[in-house]
């Protein structure tokens, strides 16, 4: 039986129409890993969804509202969708309380950090880094190196270092209640873990798995954790 993996959709207006959306690559990766992908719209009413999923995937997307972590918007912040934020944070809180396996990708990792009481850099220009975190290479190609903490959940899947793609301008500034386990060359947190299978990564493994099959291990590990929770 395939474990049911909830994938949170985005929310926004395009061509004067409000839409829910998610990139196909997330759905395809979950299916290939043996899961049954179920799309979940951002909503404050999360109880019904938690009854039908065995794991939760939080994909990438737009910036998070800085009011979620106690800050006013600063220069460099980009588009936000407060209703997306509210629905995501409500679902995250409920899933964490239920101890569901969780996998956050890019914005999804940042949402997890914020849900646990952490803070974000609203724009990485604040750090003074000279590392470009938005790549100009094709999305499936790795962009920069990361080092991975020895003996961590991530190192068991990818080893102690690897190269990853990168499409973000925000990042974790303060991590609370989670353990940072991977870092870019400029020491930005690139991955976090929590209790059970709770994993957040700052890159986009779903775009790399065609040419870099080691990245598929992240989805396999996540789906297996959801299967074991059945």
Looking at the predicted structure, is the pLDDT value of residue 44 above 90?
no
Distance CA 113, CA 179 (A): 10
Distance CA 113, CA 58 (A): 12
Distance CA 74, CA 215 (A): 34
Distance CA 132, CA 117 (A): 27
CA atoms within 13 A on the CB side of 11: 15
pLDDT score of 211: 93
Which residues are identified as catalytic?
Answer: 106, 204, 206
Looking at the predicted structure, is the pLDDT value of residue 225 above 80?
yes
pLDDT band at 72 (very low <50, low <70, confident <90, very high): very high
Q: pTM of the full predicted structure?
A: 0.96
**3-class secondary-structure state, position 43:** coil
Average pLDDT over residues 99-111: 98
Decide if 169 contacts 134 (C-beta within 8 A): yes
Domains of the chain with bracketed CATH: 4-228 (3.40.50.880)
Residue 207: closest CA among 41, 5, 26, 13: 26
The region, left, alpha or beta by phi > 0 then psi within -120 to 50, assigned to residue 107 is: alpha
Decide if 84 contacts 133 (C-beta within 8 A): no
Average pLDDT over residues 198-222: 97
Decide if 87 contacts 43 (C-beta within 8 A): yes
Q: Which residues contact 186 (CB under 8 A, 6 or more apart)?
A: 127, 129, 130, 131
Q: What is the mean pLDDT of the chain?
A: 95
55-68 tens-digit pLDDT: 999 999 999 999 99
46-58 tens-digit pLDDT: 888 999 999 999 9
Distance CA 114, CA 125 (A): 20
Structure tokens belonging to residue 119: 């803070």
């Amino acid at each position: 039986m395939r474990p049911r993996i909830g994938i949170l959709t985005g929310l926004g207006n395009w061509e004067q129409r409000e839409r829910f959306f998610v990139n196909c690559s997330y759905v395809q990766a979950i299916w290939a890993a043996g899961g049954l992908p179920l799309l979940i719209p951002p909503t404050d009413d999360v109880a019904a969804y938690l009854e039908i999923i065995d794991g939760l995937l939080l994909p990438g997307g737009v910036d998070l509202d800085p009011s979620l972590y106690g800050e006013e918007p600063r220069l460099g912040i980009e588009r936000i969708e407060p209703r997306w934020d509210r629905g995501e944070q409500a679902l995250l809180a409920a899933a964490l309380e239920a101890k569901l396996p969780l996998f956050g990708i890019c914005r999804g990792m940042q949402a997890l950090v914020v849900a646990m009481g952490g803070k974000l850099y609203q724009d990485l220009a604040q750090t003074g880094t000279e590392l470009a975190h938005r790549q100009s290479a094709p999305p499936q190609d790795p962009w920069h190196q990361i080092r991975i903490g020895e003996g961590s959940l991530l190192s068991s899947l990818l080893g102690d270092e690897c190269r990853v793609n990168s499409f973000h301008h925000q990042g974790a500034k303060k991590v609370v209640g989670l353990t940072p386990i991977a870092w870019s060359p400029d020491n930005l947190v690139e991955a976090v873990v929590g209790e059970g299978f709770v994993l957040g990564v700052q890159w986009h493994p779903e775009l790399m798995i065609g040419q870099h099959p080691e990245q598929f291990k992240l989805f396999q590990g996540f789906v297996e954790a959801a299967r074991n929770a059945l």
